[in-house]
Structure 1
Amino acid sequence: MSGSMKAIQALCMGMSLLLVGCGDKEPAAEPVATAESKPAAEPALVTVNGAAITETQLDYAMTRTLGESAGLLVGPEVRDKVLQSLVQSRAIAQQAQQELSAEEAAFLEEQVRAYREELLVKRYLQNHADPQPVSNQQVTEYYNSNPELFGGEVIRTFEYITSVGPLADLDREQLKAAYQKASASQDWKQLSATLVKEGFPVKHKQAEMNIKLLPPNIKEMVTNAKVAEGVEIHTRPDVIMLRVLKEQVTTTKPLQTVSAEIRKTLAHKQMKEAVKSLASQVMSQAQVDYATTDQQ
């Protein structure tokens, strides 16, 4: 967070719901307090240009900025500071409201609507989404099915010479023949330089990577090539000659050291499934009418 935002956050302790991002416990885009347009249902602790700040609003600000136990742990001095922050916040919000153009006011209302909807969805999911618990069997199956996530990766070191740019069919065949003739060379970097001098548009590369992370054309060649013997030559889409220099398999972490991580991953997936199922149930009861058939 920048220095200017920190200064604003200090000013906005317990901010009314106009300012954006003044507390790190709520999402951005917060709404204007409706107390400014409607009479307070309870006595005002203070009014700012006629707009009431109530005990309920102060309690919410205390909880939001200081935590659930704020009312029990802080004294009158801190409570008064939060109240003063609310007063400053309300005054700034009122000034900002006066400066809004019609377009800005409309956009702010849309932010308020979206934020309110977000809170309602979050509340509904908390009350109704019921994900299945993650079993020990699921943890074990995930561990066994994804060894590369916990070590056990197959890492191959390989090098290749590849054509650069489009080639005519004749040039493609000539380059393939040059590869086959020189494939036994030990120094492919020098071989690449020699081929360039002979007029072939090629370049040399060497890499060390997990096979699963390679692009499809290279992955197939690296997988098929025998370690430290023989070469693979492909001619589409580029003319490539490749050989694998060495292979290593990383040590797999024991299940007991990664089970918590796996359980967290699976719990997230279970929650997504529960939310998907819940959304499906809600949508089955909703009447949805699109303006045009193209959106259906």
Structure 2
Amino acid sequence: MRFGGVATLVMMSWLVVSCSQEAQEARPALVTVNGKPIYQEHVEAMLAKFPDEAIARAGDDFEEKILESLVRAKAVAEMARADMSARELERIKSRAELYEEELLAAEYLKESTDIEPVTGAMVREYYDKNQQRYLLGNQVTIQYLQSESGLEEPQKRALMEKMSAVEADADWKTYQQTLAKDGFRVFYRSSEIKASLLAKPLDSIVASLEPGEASAVFYGETLYRVRLVKEEKLGYQPLSAVSGEIRRKLAPIQMKKAIKLVSDKALASAKVEYAKD
């Protein structure tokens, strides 16, 4: 990691944190800037913002670079404090107070929140209520006639009439051979496939059919006529296959419940007064 990137991140972080009142504990400062101390805790707080692998790559002098960046940030902050108006300083102070409260609340919740685990019964209940999400879809057996592409318009219209003439319950494979003898290059296909895997335009054609029905001729660059022979539902993904996914969905819900319990308790012991209009 280049030092410039470290300096930028540290300076931005320090400008927020340094707005809060400095702790007045009797402990040695690593350095002072205009009489304002920088402690080892500040260095450690900045280090915590970097991934372990980034720190490992940065080298043995990484803490020194962090400290130097804190010094620079402190100097800039002191210059800003001298130059800014009282209104600007108050605005930044308000933001710093909010940030401090966020940190306090997060730390307290981490230490005090008792999160109930996601139970098997919860997973089963979610699965039962949301089974439509775990449908495997339908398996279809289809037969269809397909022309070659790039036909001239008169050829397409003539072939369309021929393809339209075959009955839905006729032997389409034999009919394809008849068309070939008449000079039409037509392919006969038969497929058993999951409906969701059908390519366009077969997917939309098949979706409009009931078992035993044949479509009208699809008139595009290529001509299609499709017969839906059979359709069967594949059922649902088993609970065992999706339980992990469901647990991941429910975990944040359990977290929210735990946080609400803690915040309700805090509100019950707090005196809250809203300003009246």
Give TM class, smaller chain: 0.5 to 0.7
Indicate the SS of the match to 1:34.
Answer: coil
Question: In structure 1, what is the Cα distance between the partners aligned to 2:232 and 2:82?
Answer: 67
Give the match for residue 274 of structure 1: 258
- Contact 1:14/1:62 (CA < 8 Å) preserved in 2? no
Indicate the SS of the match to 1:64.
Answer: coil
Give the match for residue 65 of structure 1: 50
1:213-232 per-position Cα deviation (integer Å, ceiling 9, x unaligned): xxxxxxxxxxxxx987xxxx
Give the match for residue 199 of structure 1: none
Q: In the superposition, relative to structure 1, how do residues 146 and 46 fare at CA in structure 2: closer, same or farther (>3 Å)?
A: same
Q: Identify the match of residue 101 of structure 2 among 83, 95, 117.
A: 117
What TM-score, normalized by structure 2, do the two folds share?
A: 0.55
Give the match for residue 133 of structure 1: 117
Q: Which amino acid aligns with 1:10?
A: V
Shift of 1:123: 1.9
Q: Identify the match of residue 21 of structure 2 among 34, 44, 50.
A: 34
Structure 2 residue 277 is the aligned partner of structure 1 residue 290: no
Give the match for residue 158 of structure 1: none
Identity, % of aligned positions: 32
Shift of 1:148: 2.9
Q: Which amino acid aligns with 2:72?
A: Q
Give the match for residue 61 of structure 2: 77
Question: In structure 2, what is the Cα distance between the partners aligned to 1:251 and 1:63?
Answer: 49
- Contact 2:136/2:234 (CA < 8 Å) preserved in 1? yes
CA RMSD of the aligned region, Å? 3.8
Question: In structure 2, what is the Cα distance between the partners aligned to 1:49 and 1:81?
Answer: 20
Shift of 1:107: 0.8
Structure 2 residue 33 is the aligned partner of structure 1 residue 48: yes
Question: In structure 2, what is the Cα distance between the partners aligned to 1:67 and 1:15?
Answer: 20
- Contact 1:45/1:52 (CA < 8 Å) preserved in 2? yes
Higher relative contact order (CA 8 A, sep 6+): 2
Q: In the superposition, relative to structure 1, how do residues 89 and 251 fare at CA in structure 2: closer, same or farther (>3 Å)?
A: farther
- The structure with the largest alpha-carbon Rg is 2
1:164-204 per-position Cα deviation (integer Å, ceiling 9, x unaligned): xxxxxxxxxxxxxxxxxxxxxxxxxxxxxxxxxxxxxxxxx
Count of residue pairs brought into register by the alignment: 188
Question: In structure 2, what is the Cα distance between the partners aligned to 1:66 and 1:74?
Answer: 11
- Contact 2:123/2:243 (CA < 8 Å) preserved in 1? yes
Give the match for residue 6 of structure 2: 10
Unaligned runs of at least 5 residues, structure 1: 1-5, 20-28, 155-225, 229-245
1:144-172 per-position Cα deviation (integer Å, ceiling 9, x unaligned): 21023334579xxxxxxxxxxxxxxxxxx
- Contact 1:46/1:53 (CA < 8 Å) preserved in 2? yes
